[in-house]
Structure 1
Amino acid sequence: MSCSASTKCLLVFFNAIFLLIGLVMFAVGLTVHLNAEFSQKAFSSFVDKLDEAAKEAGKSVDTSDFNIAEVVGSITIVLIVLGLVIAIVAFLGITGATCCVKHVLIVYLVITLVLFLAQLIMLLIFVIDRSVYDDAVKPALKDTIQEEFTGFEGNDAPSLIWNALMIELKCCGVDSYSDFTGAKKWTDGTKYITPRACCKKVDTATGDACATFAGASDINNNWKTGCYEKLYDYVVSDAVVIGAAAGVLGFQLLLLILTIVILKTAAAVEPEF
């Protein structure tokens, strides 16, 4: 089987980039999943913010048993699997182009096409109606509040993360303070309308009036500002998501075109191919 040298080099080069990305994702996911000490160091500043806020409020929060691996465990599994898939597909592309193996290139073409179409559909859904994704994610986040959140002094992973998040981003709950209503383990729910972490200023001077049914207001509490949108805007935005996805799709489209060109060139040179 004969291949166009320039087209082959381009396909190998671009797949080498994807191979590197896949291996990095796999290595990072595996390291975080297996190395608890590495995970703790990576998120130490996150926990420190909660410690500082608790001290200002005259409270003591025990974060010694906090294990971020318990929280991001499922994320690391996704990262490991995704990285492995990307690396394998890229390796197929490199092998098929380098050795000019027809069947390997066809398998690579089919897999890349399927991934391209799946991502295109996901992007179109996101552009047309992002709420489809929001409606899938928000209930799971609200469940962590309803089932696990114990309050401002809780030392379990969900409580520590929610408190630190609300203090850092100046928000309350997923959509608002109402997400805490009826939370099973939040015993302070009979006294407070929001957790203390929702207050705009958490310290001994202001006390806890900002979180009570009678004292909470727009002036002293972030009770109507949801953390979901704040975190989304903090980490990423619609423009970034759409731009990044369009870039990846464009890159994959180029890979598809290069693969088809190689296959057609080879077929023209060798009719029995």
Structure 2
Amino acid sequence: MELNCGLKCLKYLLLAFNLIICIVGIAALVVGIVSMVGDSNLFSLLKLSLDQSTLVQSSSVIIIVTGVILFLIGFIGCCGAYKESVCMLGIYAAVVIIIIIIEIAGIAVAAAFQSKVTSELKSGLKKHIMEDYDGTGAMDTFTFFVDQTQVQFDCCGVDSYTEFVNATKWNRGNATIPLSCCILTNKDDYPENPSKATAKNQTCQQSPDSTNSNINKSCYNSIKDFAMNNARNIIIVGVVVLIVEVICFIIAVCLCNRLRKDGDA
């Protein structure tokens, strides 16, 4: 079936878009598989401790699944456009519109329940600190997450450093705050060597103040400020992705309708 010049341009545009999606999917798949098998260079790049295997494997699975989904969507779109297949283009258009609806619904739900989600997230983290934080980030994934966050954002506690007073699994001795709340001499090395962290002031954990620790800076506000500072870039990327998805859907529908009409003629 011969397409006119305009539809040919749309066909190759759809082909190009989905070829990029395929490449991104393959790249994500490779990164996920490499991180799953424990490539030391990738761990170093991501600044993750090799002891955090559970955390890394969970992230790897998510990356692999995302890569597979992206590759399949791109592959169907490429084949449908190249072969001018009504069936494959129809499947592709259906999948893309479902993804668009899920994304829009997710944004709406997130906006509607933002305050509730925030409140429950904060209370959940505080509860986990009380029940699960053990002060040895090299051994426990949750503890490592808390410590790494505090070191990276120069903060202490979700809302307050006093939350660690009730940490039932932490054998604190005379310490008031974890070492990760102190100002460290080797902050940049912490992700790879948390057990070798050293406070600039050796009395920091027992007698913390605003000069030797980060007790006056909550992690929630620090992360919130970080997210707000990067929100513009996130929104731009999200809008661009959504626009590309809508364009792909429209092109697929247009090609489907034309091919179907030519088939019936």
Gaps of 5+ in 2: 186-197
Using the TM superposition, give the Cα deviation of residue 140 of structure 1 relative to its aligned residue in structure 2, in angstroms: 6.2
Using the TM superposition, give the Cα deviation of residue 134 of structure 1 relative to its aligned residue in structure 2, in angstroms: 4.1
Q: CA RMSD in A?
A: 3.0
Contact 1:92 1:104 in 2 (8 A): yes
Q: Tell me the distance in 2 between the aligned counterparts of 1:17 and 1:137.
A: 36
How does 1:166-205 map onto structure 2 within 5 Å? 166-188=150-172, 191-200=174-183
Q: Percent identity?
A: 21
Q: Which amino acid counterpart does residue 38 of structure 2 have in structure 1?
A: N
- The structure showing larger relative contact order (alpha-carbon pairs under 8 Å, at least 6 residues apart) is 1
Aligned length in residues: 248
Q: Among residues 186, 202, 205, which one is paired with 1:211 in the alignment?
A: 205
Match of 1:255 in 2: 248
* TM score, norm. by length of structure 2: 0.78
Q: Tell me the distance in 1 between the aligned counterparts of 2:120 and 2:26.
A: 29
CA 1:117–1:99: 2 relative to 1, 3 Å: same
Gaps of 5+ in 1: 48-65
Match of 2:24 in 1: 21
Match of 1:51 in 2: none
Q: Tell me the distance in 1 between the aligned counterparts of 2:237 and 2:116.
A: 19
Q: Tell me the distance in 1 between the aligned counterparts of 2:249 and 2:39.
A: 40
Q: Which amino acid counterpart does residue 20 of structure 1 have in structure 2?
A: I
Q: Tell me the distance in 2 between the aligned counterparts of 1:143 and 1:42.
A: 32
* TM score, norm. by length of structure 1: 0.76
Using the TM superposition, give the Cα deviation of residue 186 of structure 1 relative to its aligned residue in structure 2, in angstroms: 0.8
Using the TM superposition, give the Cα deviation of residue 154 of structure 1 relative to its aligned residue in structure 2, in angstroms: 5.2
Using the TM superposition, give the Cα deviation of residue 22 of structure 1 relative to its aligned residue in structure 2, in angstroms: 0.7
Q: Tell me the distance in 2 between the aligned counterparts of 1:103 and 1:136.
A: 45
Deviation digits for residues 57-99 of structure 1 (CA, Å, limit 9, x no counterpart): xxxxxxxxx4233222111111100110011011111111111
3-state SS, counterpart of residue 185 of structure 1: coil
Q: Among residues 22, 41, 44, which one is paired with 1:41 in the alignment?
A: 44
Using the TM superposition, give the Cα deviation of residue 260 of structure 1 relative to its aligned residue in structure 2, in angstroms: 1.3
Q: Tell me the distance in 2 between the aligned counterparts of 1:136 and 1:267.
A: 51
Q: Among residues 11, 14, 24, which one is paired with 2:14 in the alignment?
A: 11
3-state SS, counterpart of residue 176 of structure 2: coil
Q: Among residues 84, 97, 100, which one is paired with 1:100 in the alignment?
A: 84
3-state SS, counterpart of residue 187 of structure 1: coil
Q: Tell me the distance in 1 between the aligned counterparts of 2:128 and 2:56.
A: 14
Q: Tell me the distance in 2 between the aligned counterparts of 1:78 and 1:237.
A: 23
Match of 2:235 in 1: 242
Q: Tell me the distance in 2 between the aligned counterparts of 1:225 and 1:204.
A: 17
Q: Which amino acid counterpart does residue 111 of structure 1 have in structure 2?
A: V
Using the TM superposition, give the Cα deviation of residue 193 of structure 1 relative to its aligned residue in structure 2, in angstroms: 3.0
CA 1:16–1:135: 2 relative to 1, 3 Å: farther
